[in-house]
Structure formats: C-alpha cells, structure tokens
Structure 1
C-alpha cells in the first residue's frame, strides 16, 4: 500500500502516495552500468554463483544479430518504409479505431441510471465486472490520446508531464498487468511495443527507491509471470516460449534491478530513500535528517526475492534480507516500528508509530514474505504475530457511539496518548489480517486445519470489524467516496481492544448471531441520524479522495476468504460512486429534437479535492494506481475466486501479482534473530 499517493522521496513531486507479432527482442534495451550486481557496499564479496541463470542467459543479454551485410540502398529504403508503416499502424492508439464501440458513451449512459438500480438477488457479477473493464478502457484510451508515454496525466485539461526528463514509463508499466488480467490484447500490444522501443532506465536523475521498485520492477516482474503462466490472457505471440521477445520483461527488470541495488550501498544496508539510476548511486532523503521511511525500506523484498528466483542471482535476495535483519536488531517494542530509520546508523529515527503512511507496508510484507516463499521462512510469520499482538495492545480502540473498531496512531511513542486518526492507507489491514489468518485459503477450509486457533479466530473478527469501519468512511461523505483521513470520537480514556476483549477467546468466542451482526452493512442513508455518523469527523484539509485502492483491496481479500457476498456489494456501491462522481465528461449540448437526449461520453476519471460535497471539486489528476490497483481489485472482486488465486499468488503493495515459490540453494533467510538484552539476561540466570 505503502503510500500509494505516496511521496516520491526527493523528486520534485514529493508527498502528493496497470504485443506485437513482430520480433522485438533486444530493441531499445538500456545497458546497465558495469559491475552493478556486485555492489551493495561490499556486502557481497563472494561472486561465486552456484545457481543457474534464468535459462542460462547471463543477465538476459539480448540475442546477437548476424554480421551486417551490404544492402542495396533501394532495398534499405523499402525496409524503412515498411517499418514505418507497421510502426504507425501498431502504435495507433485504440481511441482512433472508428469501428470500435465507444465505451465512453456507453458508460455515460449507464451512469445516468445508477440511482435507479434496485436491489436484486440474482446479480450478474460478470456483467458488473465488465463495467469495471469499461472504466479501465476509458481511462487507458484517454491516456493514450492525451499523454502517451508520460508519467502523469491530467484528464480534465488533457495535459501531462514526466517525473524526470525522458520519463519512467510510470503509467504504462504500472497498468500493464491489469490489462493482461482484463484480457485487453490490443492495449497490451501497444504497451509492450513502447516498453520494447522506448523504455529506458539510464536517466541521470534520482528517483524514489521504493516507488520505482514496487511500480516499475514489480510491474515488469508481474507482466513476465502472467504472460508465461496465463498465456491465454491477452495472448501475444512475441512473449511465447521460444519467441523473439520472450524475455523482454525480464531483461528490463534485470537492468532496473541492477541499477536499484546502488540504493543499498549504505553503511547499515538500509536503502537510501532515492537512487540515481544512471550511476546506481543511493541518495539520502532531503528531509527527516536523511532518514528513510521504514515502510519504504522494508517493502521491496517481494520484488527482489522474485527477481533472485528468476535469475539465480543471490545478490538481490541478500540485499533485501539484510534490511530485515537490521530492522529486527533494533528490537522494536511489541513488534511495532517507528516510521523512520537512518540508513547510516541503521537505528530508528523518532518514535512515531502508525500503520498509515511510512509505516503500513512494513507489516504487510512480513506476512507476504512468509507466504511468497511457501511458508519456508518462519521468521516472518513470527515477526507478523508479534506485530499483531502489539497492534492489539496499543492501537486498537472503539468509538464512542457505535463501537466502531479504530486503528489509531501513537505519534509520540507507545507510552503517550493514542491519536484516533485513520489514513485511508490503513484500510489495507482488514484484508491482510484475513490473509494472515488463513494463508489465503477459504475460511471454512482453514478452520478445519490442525493449526487453527482462537488467535486466528480473533484475527478474522478484527478483520471484519476494521472492514466495517473502512466502509463507514465511504458512507460518511456526500459522494460515498472516502476522505484521505478520517478522525474518530473515542471515550476518555479510550476503550481499547484489551479492555473490551481481555483475551482472544472473549472476542472470537461470540455466538454465530453476534458474529453475523457485526458484519452487516451500516445504513447507507444520508439523513445524519445514524449513531455511527457521530463517531466520524472529516477535517477540511482531509476531504480529498485520491482514487486509492486500499479499501477495495481489503474487500477483495475479505470476499475471497470469507465467501460473504456483502463485501462484493459494498465494493459495487463504491465503484458506482467512483463512476458517478469522478468521471470526466465531454460533449457539448446541441440543438436536439424535443425529447431527444444529449449524447455525452466519459473520457476519463480524476481524483477529487473535496469528496464531501455535491458536485465534488475535482483535482484534474489520474493517479497511476487508479489503473494499476483500484480498478484491478474491483475487477478481481467481481471475478471468480479461483481467478489469479490467493493460494498461488501474493500481491505486492502496488497490486502486482507474483507467484509463490519454494526457495532453494542460496535463496534463503541468511540471518537469525538475536535475543533482546532482557531475554539474554533471563536465559543466563
């Protein structure tokens, strides 16, 4: 999740947190700086590589071409003309195809009927899923038309810009696997061709280590996995086994991974907040005393571990494992980590503890590292369980009127007061709680396993309660779209989880009737009379909605794990609100015959400056995670539960699905936890 809106470290945009039949292999592939793979501050002095390279292709060197022959000038000219014509046709964006259905018109017409929709027991979820697909196509077509190749897109004005000179392929690479999942072959072909001919990572500029890893590296790795594991999704001949472009995504990912390794060249092994890709040189943050965000430093492990698995290069694995060792050596109290850590010293910076921005995905990647490696690295399950105990003890409280479960913050440390504030980012946690409890299996199946316990039962209870709270933040606004931050009214002193439920049995031991009552939806009426509304405060500076994915992400996990259709229904209400209030509509009124409707079309979707007024105030910005995450999770929520299954995948914090695997050889946890001083003294006595 980590801060999907998310600050770009030291970039100018800081703090404001998805295939062609021609042979494309080796075209436009940037060459990595020499010796990058063996850098990392001298941490890897042993260059022996005992594992086989991916298909025995060292660093996926592009295939060599035959020696150049002397071609006749006219033949060369003819080839150039044909190449140009092919390139022009294949590069023509989808929106220019006059024979295709105008989904913008169709979705606009449907949007006019949203309020008339009546509840039905016979819901066609495939039909609803297609509406999500239409919203994606509209978003993508607008980007193709107005901003192709740019990193940022303003759908209202039709403007765009790059994060750095030359661009990073931010939107194209981030949205690529969403298009594969949605089986959008034409769109994938256009994106793949741009990646092959235009994407490069040799710019002499610093970029966010974290964002570049989760979006770019994660996006390329996921595209490789999906194109090989699911060849029938957006089938492109060029990425088939043995085809000329088979290794395109891996070649790009390896080049980028080598460059990113420079960020880990700190005295402690904690990555710097930024990295210059051209020089493979890490750069400390300009603020916070040069400290890195704890979440950023600890949310790159899934990507580098999968890259290590594909390449057999243990350097990637060791670099990110070292980070986890340094974090654990600080002995965080009750498994809760401050949100900053200094790359020079390896020590935490400050005492601010929260699961919102700069803290969130540290916890997410604990359980996901355990699941990614097929439960072969138990240290991460141990760390995850410790963190859950700390969250229960210090951060979970209940609101004053409706007893909504609130995940608060401790900005001044665990000994100081709880702040009843929840970033939207925190809403990744309900789904992650459920994922940790069952490992992604259906709840009914997990409950039959030998290792099921009252603690796991309580984790399901907490996931349901927090899910309801996150849903309430959507119902609390005029548009039905959550604000960026919600504040809650608590008792004084607050009623904590341990006060209300002294042990796991007291919560998980509820009767079936009680458990059913807590998972019911809150009243969606807007008359202001419901008790829970008195528990939520939305400050003026927090009213914006950035198209964030965390709540629908949790709904996706909750539905797939519990099987309860209510989570799909909540997601459908959210999706309708996005279409109704964030759509960018074009089309002028014209002189029409009496009774004839004005034909307009949706050309894109935008974030909002104020989601608590109708009409809402727009921001004129489409976040890249709108296509990479939010629409992807809606699509998966409305899909069959076995499609891109939780049992076989982990999703990185940018919603890029990566496969689970069993690590072998040098790919393993290379460190052991050191006992705390108090534990060591007790053991000695």
Structure 2
C-alpha cells in the first residue's frame, strides 16, 4: 500500500539562527574550495549559514563555497534564501490566513507543545493508513513496502529536479554542485540502498551516471572523512553487494565478465588513490581535506589547524577493505598507523579529546564527548575488531577501556525521572559534566549492544563461554540509553528529535553506580513528570533527518528481539512521513524547527536520509537474514561491508604501549 504525500502548509515564522558550536567549522567539515572556477554550480544561494561561512572563510579563500558535509557536526539553520516561484508568492496572503487560523486552533488545543503527540494531530490523515485492530499482529512486510515507497518518492524527486547535483533542495525544486562537475554525493551514497530495496531501474540510471559523468579528476578540495565514508564507502558497499548478492537489483552490465563488472571498484580505487594524499602529513595523522586533482592533503583552516579526532579515526574500515580487495597493502598500513598514533598520546580511561594535529600527532585541548567530532572514533574501535573476524584484539581492548571510561566520567542520570544519559566534559575529565546529548550520541545504544554480542542475538551470545557479567551490564546500559534517545523524539511536537537535547541532572551529577529507574513508558499527558528531565533550546530544535536513533533501534531489535524497538521505529517513520514530506512531489526535507506543528521546513534533503535513515527503517522492518550482523559491518554511513580474515598479507602492525592508571605512557627499561 502506498501513501499520499502530506500537504505541508508553509509557515512564515522566523526560526532562530543557531550560533555555531565550537566556532565555525567551515573548511574542516562543511566547505570546500574550488580553484578551477566558481564551483558553485546551479541552485543559487546556500542560505544564511552558507553566507556566514563564506564571509568568514573569505579571509582564507574568497572562492570557498559551502558544502553539505556535516555527518559529524551540528548545524545551524535559518530559512532558505532561495526565492519562491511567482505562482507560490501569489498564494502567500491566503496561506498566511490559513496558518494564522491553524495557529489559533493549535494554541487552544495544545497549550503545552509537548502534548502535541503525533496520534492526536493527524493533520493529513496518513497516520491511520496502516492502522490495525487492537491486539492484531502488525504487517511488517507492508510497513517495509512503505519505506520503499518513501525511498522511491525521495529518489524520484531528486531525479526529476536535481539529477547529478550533489545537493537537493526539495521545496524550491533545485540542486547545487559541490565541485565543478559534481561528485555524485547523493547518487553514490544511495547505491546500496537502491540495491537492498531491489530498485533496479533507478540503480541502472545511477550506474549510467557513474559510467559516463563521474570523474574524480577535479581541482577541488574535499573533506577527507566525509568523502571516505560516503563516496568510498558507498562504492565499496555497492561492489560488495553486487558481487556477493547478484540477485539484488540485478543488472546485466555488472555481471561476471561483463563490461561494467568492476565499475564500482575502479571508481573506488581511483578515489582512494587521491584520498591517500591526506596521510602525507609529518605525523601520519590525515589532513582534514584533500585536493582531488592535485593529490594533495590540506591542513584544516579552522581549529588552529587541528583535524577532528573522529574524522581521522573513521577511515579504517573503508581503506582496510579496499586493501583486502586490491592487495595494495599501503591502504591498510596508512589507515592503521593512525590508530597507533592516536593511542600513543596516552589518554586517561580511553577517552580522547576531539581535536588532533596532523602536523605533530598530538591532541589539541581537552574537550571529551561522544557527539560531534568524537563519536565515530569509538564506533570504529569495535567495528575494526569485528571486521577482521575478531583477529585484532587491540581494538576490542581499546573499546572496552573507552566504554568503562564513559561509564566512569560521562554517564549520569536525569532528574526527576532518572533517565540514563551520556554527557560531555568540555574542559577535560577534571572539569564539569555538561548534561548535553547531540542526536549523534544515539549511535551508542546499538554499538554497545553490538560490541557485547558480536552481532549474535542476545540469546545466542549468552550461551557462549565468554559471556560475562560485564556483557550483561553493557546490554542494560544499551537498553537505558535507547530509552533516553527515544524520549528525545517523544519530547518534540512533531515526534522528531532535536539536533541537541539538554537534561536536568543533580548537582553534583550522580555517578554511574547510583540507583536509578526510568519510567518504562512516556506518559503523553502535557504535565507528565518526565517532561521536566528534558530541555531543548530554540536554536537546537532543528531535525536533520539523522539516522542514529533508528540505527540503534535496528541493532537493538536484531540483538534483543524486543518488539518495542520495531514499534518505536514505526512511530518514528510515521512522524517523518507526516512532518517532513514536501508538497508537489518534492520528496522529504529536513526541518528548521521540529517543535512546532506544522513544522518549519529547511529545504534540504540530506544524502544520509537515503543512505542511512531510510535504509535502517527498511532493515528494521525486514527479516533478520537480510545483512546478518554476524557477517557484515556497517560503516558510519550505513554502507555494509563484509567481515573477512586478514590472511597472510595483512596483520596488526602495532601493539599498545604500557601506561599507568592515569593513562600516561610508561617508559620500559631497556634490556641488555
């Protein structure tokens, strides 16, 4: 059963523009420079944030153009600067009248905006499209088909209005390039989703573009991390799926001994050869950016020249798999060396600051967090261990040490309801705990569960002789964090989480060992006590269509078999369908303000909406034998890669140095 696109009525409020967290992060993650021309492509202004970045960036390079590279960073929002078509402007007065009437009704019916539950504000009527009788069994096959419908709507809107462009603005029906000839940002990021959903005709069009239009030989600076996880990861995943599962969206051209057999791998190898320039730093820590045509690494223009720690340590799955495919050991060695260099800083309790210098290999500052710039360092510790079939114990050791550090320094409980949160130590481990969680932190419940079970079900893992009390405790932590992340959705008027949520905690914060018991369910009443624990600031109320919570729901469902995680995912999916859909066939958009109904659309579809969010919904509603977790690892952009044995060519080329209880390296006496 398909659904009708909800008719979102535009709003004409003025959403607050957020002050950028940790100053502007323009070139390290969000911008690129084009020496070969304007590089802006079509599509007009990138909006207020892009203007701010361009003005600040102009001190370094007046030609810098804004790019949507923000997988690992919070973002600021303001209404799009693009002009509406004339035919829409003629309707403004009428729409304003409708909106005012709607707001008057909304104010009376929902005095407390936290009570605006999706089920009570069914503006477009779609929420009942898959209603079932009380006690009846849900039809998960039908729900999975609805996710495919959403993917088709999203892809077809992009294909119709912005084909080949790296950005898609669904409200204004326009696109924009990130490089003179385009980088395939949306197309490549979506390849494996098209395959998994068996969307053959759309995949054929994507392959045609790759074959005839994509070139990496462009005089363009790109972010090392974002390009690796999205473009390199997307191509490698497409190669893996098309090779190992040829019946998924089967295309004759990519079959064995056919002309296009190695298309994905050839494009990946060409890109990786260029990205390798990032590792040519004095320390071996990769530079923040790379010029593709010049094969040249470029130091970060922000943060005093430091790279993001998460970005430098979230390249390993991709480069190590490419090394396995090609036999070119240099890909493996350069990426692996980074892990040794980071670990040789000797941090306390496995928790790393979020900046590191490519020039010296040393950390900058003491800011510790599992949100932006820190998150995927921890994610890739355990995933590197699993990728090589648990043959590299050093990464499991580092993960376990870090998780204990998280428990000791970052975990606390909210007041009055005792939800479990992971806070931040912005001034170091001896500084105050900030009760703040980026939505990005919600990767942790699923990752903790994956690490505890190795991808087996919890029932299977408990039968292993290696199962321990610590594994039981880790699973409990995963469940508690999952509850908190779901609460971040339930707290918002649209049922879609804010980019950042703050919490009320005790002073001093309760330790991880403190007794706690959060409510099992979220009371929908506007004066429910649990509302007191959460706090979303107006400047943080945007929703980027991020995947981290549905990602964790997918892992938790597969590992625990607890139906609540599927049910939560279905509620979340319905909220996305009802509050992010764009009128007139535009697909779906991120939101400037997710805490008002109707919501404030931002006019941008993130590529990870296709690569991650919809893919995780699809996997959550699919049978468990689709991408079994004990056979694959998904990179931080949800691109599935196979687990493999290292073989004779590859090995773990380093060992951890001894350290004291403070994490400082201990000098070993020389032996005669």
TM-score bucket of the superposed structures, by smaller chain: 0.7 to 0.9
1:151 alignment partner, one of 142, 153, 166: 166
1:306 matched to 2:306: no
Q: Distance in 1 between matches of 2:250 and 2:376?
A: 33
Aligned to 2:30: 8
RMSD (Å), alpha carbons: 2.1
1:220 matched to 2:235: yes
Q: Distance in 2 between matches of 1:412 and 1:143?
A: 43
1:603 matched to 2:603: no
Q: Distance in 2 between matches of 1:279 and 1:454?
A: 53
CA shift for structure 1 position 486: 0.2
**Secondary structure of the residue that 1:492 maps to in structure 2?**
coil
CA shift for structure 1 position 490: 0.3
In 2, are the aligned partners of 1:556 and 1:636 still within 8 Å (CA)? yes
Q: Distance in 1 between matches of 2:32 and 2:367?
A: 21
CA shift for structure 1 position 111: 2.0
2:529 alignment partner, one of 528, 531, 535: 531
**Secondary structure of the residue that 1:572 maps to in structure 2?**
helix
2:278 alignment partner, one of 234, 259, 263: 263
In 1, are the aligned partners of 2:424 and 2:436 still within 8 Å (CA)? yes
Aligned to 1:522: 522
Aligned to 1:474: 489
1:657 matched to 2:648: no
Q: Distance in 2 between matches of 1:519 and 1:434?
A: 21
In 2, are the aligned partners of 1:215 and 1:654 still within 8 Å (CA)? yes
1:670 alignment partner, one of 630, 639, 653: 653
CA shift for structure 1 position 565: 0.7
In 2, are the aligned partners of 1:408 and 1:420 still within 8 Å (CA)? yes
CA shift for structure 1 position 455: 0.5
1:187 matched to 2:192: no
CA shift for structure 1 position 14: 5.8
1:622 matched to 2:605: yes
CA shift for structure 1 position 684: 9.8
Q: 1:211 to 1:615 in 2, by over 3 A?
A: same
1:210 matched to 2:212: no
Q: 1:111 to 1:325 in 2, by over 3 A?
A: same
Aligned to 1:595: none
**Secondary structure of the residue that 2:285 maps to in structure 1?**
coil
Structure 2: segments with no counterpart, 5+ residues: 1-24, 34-64, 71-122
Q: Distance in 1 between matches of 2:341 and 2:521?
A: 43
In 2, are the aligned partners of 1:301 and 1:321 still within 8 Å (CA)? yes
In 2, are the aligned partners of 1:468 and 1:519 still within 8 Å (CA)? no
Q: 1:521 to 1:235 in 2, by over 3 A?
A: farther
Alignment TM-score, normalising by the size of structure 2: 0.81
**Secondary structure of the residue that 1:490 maps to in structure 2?**
coil
* Matching of residues 20-419 of structure 1 within 5 Å: 111=126, 113=128, 119-419=134-434
1:427 matched to 2:438: no
Aligned to 1:96: none
CA shift for structure 1 position 15: 7.7
Q: Distance in 1 between matches of 2:542 and 2:358?
A: 33
Question: Residues 553-605 of structure 1: CA distance to partner in whole angstroms, max 9, x if unpaired?
Answer: 0000000000111000000000000000000022xxxxxxxxxxxxxxx5300
Question: Residues 98-118 of structure 1: CA distance to partner in whole angstroms, max 9, x if unpaired?
Answer: xxxxxxxxxx98726359666
**Secondary structure of the residue that 2:572 maps to in structure 1?**
helix
In 1, are the aligned partners of 2:68 and 2:167 still within 8 Å (CA)? no
Aligned to 2:563: 565
In 2, are the aligned partners of 1:464 and 1:518 still within 8 Å (CA)? no
Aligned to 2:478: 463
**Secondary structure of the residue that 1:493 maps to in structure 2?**
coil
CA shift for structure 1 position 7: 3.2
Q: How many residues are treated as equivalent by the alignment? A: 560
CA shift for structure 1 position 155: 0.5
Q: Distance in 1 between matches of 2:177 and 2:562?
A: 42
Q: Distance in 1 between matches of 2:32 and 2:243?
A: 36
Q: Distance in 1 between matches of 2:475 and 2:284?
A: 36
**Secondary structure of the residue that 2:507 maps to in structure 1?**
strand
Q: Distance in 2 between matches of 1:113 and 1:453?
A: 44
CA shift for structure 1 position 682: 9.2
Alignment TM-score, normalising by the size of structure 1: 0.79
Q: Distance in 2 between matches of 1:531 and 1:109?
A: 30
In 2, are the aligned partners of 1:442 and 1:560 still within 8 Å (CA)? yes
Q: 1:519 to 1:666 in 2, by over 3 A?
A: farther
CA shift for structure 1 position 489: 0.2
2:459 alignment partner, one of 424, 437, 444: 444
Q: Distance in 2 between matches of 1:362 and 1:679?
A: 20
**Secondary structure of the residue that 2:281 maps to in structure 1?**
coil
In 2, are the aligned partners of 1:114 and 1:576 still within 8 Å (CA)? no
In 1, are the aligned partners of 2:346 and 2:665 still within 8 Å (CA)? no
In 2, are the aligned partners of 1:7 and 1:13 still within 8 Å (CA)? no
Q: Distance in 1 between matches of 2:542 and 2:133?
A: 29
2:549 alignment partner, one of 548, 551, 555: 551
1:631 alignment partner, one of 606, 614, 636: 614
In 2, are the aligned partners of 1:330 and 1:347 still within 8 Å (CA)? yes
Aligned to 1:640: 623
CA shift for structure 1 position 268: 0.5
